[in-house]
Amino acid sequence: MSETSIRPAVITRVLPHSIAAEVGFEPGDAIVAINGMHPRDLIDYQFLCADEVLELKVLDARGKTHVVEIEKDYDDDLGLEFETALFDGLIQCNNRCPFCFIDQQPPGKRQSLYLKDDDYRLSFLYGSYLTLTNLTPKEWNRIEQMRLSPLYVSVHSTEPDVRRQLLKNQRAGQILEQLQWFEERRLQIHAQVVVCPGINDGVHLERTLLDLAKFHKGEVPTVASVAVVPVGLTRFRPTEDELVPASREKAEEVIDQVQVLQEKFRQQLQSTFAWLADEWFLIARQELPPESHYEDYPQIGNGVGSIRQFLKQFQDFAAQKLPSRLETPRTFTWVVGNAVEKAFEPLVQQLNRVKGLVVRLAALRSDYWGQEITVTGLLTGQDLLAGLQEQELGDAILLPSVMLKHGDTRFLDDKTVEELSRQLKVPILPVNGIEELIEACIKQS
Ligand code: SF4
């Protein structure tokens, strides 16, 4: 990547009381260089800012260049947030997986919704999954030099032919050699296997998990964990593709198969190692494993154990925070995906034991995506409008912010919270996590 393709890093937020606030940085300013180096991304920025003496070349919102000198302790953060983590642009995907969620969206939306990222920087910074099929020797070298570990790798299958078939990419067959590369450098990955019935399930799944388990050894296991996830299909996928959704029978089969392997891994590796996403149990209509099953939740970002963790955190927080009564009675509608309806019933009962508080759970499915069982994060504005209109919604809707794009008020279908609130004629309170949910319920105006 040449320096000319690196854009100045535009600042969107200056944290109060931070070094940057003291120096006088403002949103709209942009960092061009740090000690003469042009940061490519947030990783470079963090690395370069670890110096005690910084000379920053800054472009202000009016286009004027300034040089700012800062002395600080090496681990002091400047307190800046940027509009993007990638100042030189996104590394895009070169695969054509038939199950790609990006291709399963409706046509005619904003261009940015169709960008397929497969960028190791986002994997390192935010835990998004990548395939390793598009890395140049220079990028491999950077992973090694900067020790960008752990990365999150979509393995899907360790068999070269099966992986090539799934990713529709001739370069996809080298996964075992790539894992070897990580092992030799003592770098770690977390893996995921998206199970596509009829393609990488059955004996292929077993082979993949056993292959990956061979890389789980020593103090720094190369493959730290594996998530086994059912393929997610929407009504917008091409009808002629080779995919079939995971049925209840398939989910039961995968649960049985992986649980046998988990037992073996616990004995040999002292870890369950390969984890089943919550969705398998929801599809199979089986109880979720107990909280003690999940060790330190290594695959929580992939929906493994997230329901159990939510229930546990709710109990802890409710015990501390829930009052016995509210001074002013309040009524809320808490919107969730129908996948968690049963699991969340006890939480709603507990909230409703507070005198004066009434919480109604609205567990919706997504007609937008055409999914029978819908996880909360996939509900769209249109789904909410269809599921909630003409209903008594109380004083406000409690809206889990996982339905919204990060840092935005838009749903996946681009409808905004404000628009929906106007249409439903009720205030909408986005809540991020349990703490905010409970606080919204008990806050007295
Ligand atoms: S690697 Fe990811 S982004 Fe690329 S086609 Fe496959 S699923 Fe889509």
CB 248 within 8 A of CB 285: yes
Let me know if 418 is exposed, middle or buried by CB neighbors in 10 A (0-12, 13-18, 19+): exposed
DSSP 383-422: HHHHHHTTS---SEEEEEGGGBPTTSSBBTTS-BHHHHHH
For residue 16, what is the DSSP state?
T
pLDDT above 70 as % of the chain: 99
Residue 187 is inside which H or E element, if any? none
397 Cβ closer than 6 Å to some ligand 1 atom: no
CA distance 374 to 157: 26
Answer yes or no: is the C-beta of 165 below 6 A from any ligand 1 atom.
no
Q: What is the pLDDT of residues 63-119, one digit of tens each?
A: 999 999 999 998 999 999 999 999 999 999 999 999 998 888 888 777 777 889 999
Indicate which atom in ligand 1 lies nearest the CA of residue 133.
Answer: 1
Nearest ligand 1 atom, CA 117:
3
Q: How far is the CA of 401 from the centre of ligand 1 (A)?
A: 25
Of the candidate ranges 306-310, 347-351, 441-445, the one whose mean pLDDT is the lowest: 441-445
End-to-end CA distance of the chain: 54
When the pLDDT of each residue in the chain is averaged and rounded to a whole number, the result is: 94
Tell me the Ramachandran region of residue 225: left when phi exceeds 0, alpha when psi lies from -120 to 50, beta otherwise. Answer: beta
Q: Confirm or reject: Cβ of 95 under 6 Å from ligand 1.
A: yes
Q: Cβ distance 157 to 200 under 8 Å? A: yes
Q: Which of 27-31, 118-122, 440-444 has the lowest mean pLDDT?
A: 440-444
pLDDT at 2 > cutoff 70: no
Residue owning the nearest CA to atom 8 of ligand 1: 100
pLDDT value of position 106: 86
pLDDT at 410 over 80: yes
Q: What is the 3-state secondary structure (H, E, C) of 431-442?
A: ECHHHHHHHHHH
Q: Which atom number of ligand 1 is nearest to the Cα of residue 129? A: 2
The answer, yes or no, to whether residue 1 has pLDDT greater than 50, is: no
Which atom of ligand 1 lies nearest, measured to the CA of 103?
Answer: 8
Q: Is 131 in the pocket of ligand 1 (CB under 6 A)?
A: yes
Q: Nearest C-alpha to atom 3 of ligand 1 is from which residue?
A: 116
Q: What is the pLDDT of residues 202-234, one digit of tens each?
A: 999 999 999 999 999 999 999 999 999 999 888
- Specify the pLDDT at position 3: 54
Nearest residue to 337 via CA among 311, 372, 308, 313: 372
Which spans in 73-136 are helix H? 120-126
Task: State the residue for tokens 């964990």.
Answer: 225
Q: Mean per-residue pLDDT for 410-439?
A: 95
Check whether 388 has a pLDDT greater than 90.
Answer: yes
- Check pocket membership of 102 for ligand 1, CB cut-off 6 A: yes
| pLDDT score recorded for residue 105 | 86
Q: Which helix (H) or strand (E) holds 44?
A: helix 42-48
Q: Which residues contact 124 (CB under 8 A, 6 or more apart)?
A: 43, 148, 149, 150, 151
Does the Cβ of 119 fall within 6 Å of ligand 1?
Answer: no
pLDDT tier at 4, thresholds 50, 70, 90: low
The answer, yes or no, to whether any atom of ligand 1 lies below 6 A from the CB of 53, is no
